[in-house]
């Protein structure tokens, strides 16, 4: 999926790539990422980080994103 396909800016693309790499380093999140697939994951990250999202952004840093994703996995929100 190219950046132009989803209209993602360079900075956001790099940030998402860093998040994906961080998730791959931890078995708990790596398993989800493998099952979910990069495309679906990126779509969800874009929803989560949309400033117009109800309740505001779910996270804005790699650290807070990892915390949110780990919590979601523990709650079973993303059971594949």
pLDDT of residue 7: 74
The full DSSP string for 6-30 is HT--HHHHHHHHHHHHHHHTSHHHH
The domain ranges of the chain are 9-75
Q: Which residue is it, tokens 């790596």?
A: 30
Per-residue pLDDT reduced to its tens digit, 21-79: 999 999 989 999 999 999 999 999 999 999 999 999 999 999 999 999 999 999 998 76
Question: Distance (Å, rounded) from C-alpha 61 to C-alpha 31?
Answer: 21
pTM: 0.85
Integer-rounded Cα Rg, in Å, for the chain is: 12
Q: Name which of 45, 34, 57, 37 is nearest 8 in CA terms.
A: 45
């Amino acid at each position: 999926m190219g950046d132009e396909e989803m209209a993602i800016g360079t900075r956001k693309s790099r940030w998402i790539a860093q998040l994906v790499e961080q998730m791959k380093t931890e078995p708990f999140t790596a398993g989800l990422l493998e099952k979910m697939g990069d495309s679906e994951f990126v779509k969800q990250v874009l929803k989560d980080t949309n400033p117009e999202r109800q309740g505001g952004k779910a996270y804005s840093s790699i650290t807070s994103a990892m915390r949110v994703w780990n919590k979601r996995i523990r709650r079973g929100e993303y059971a594949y």
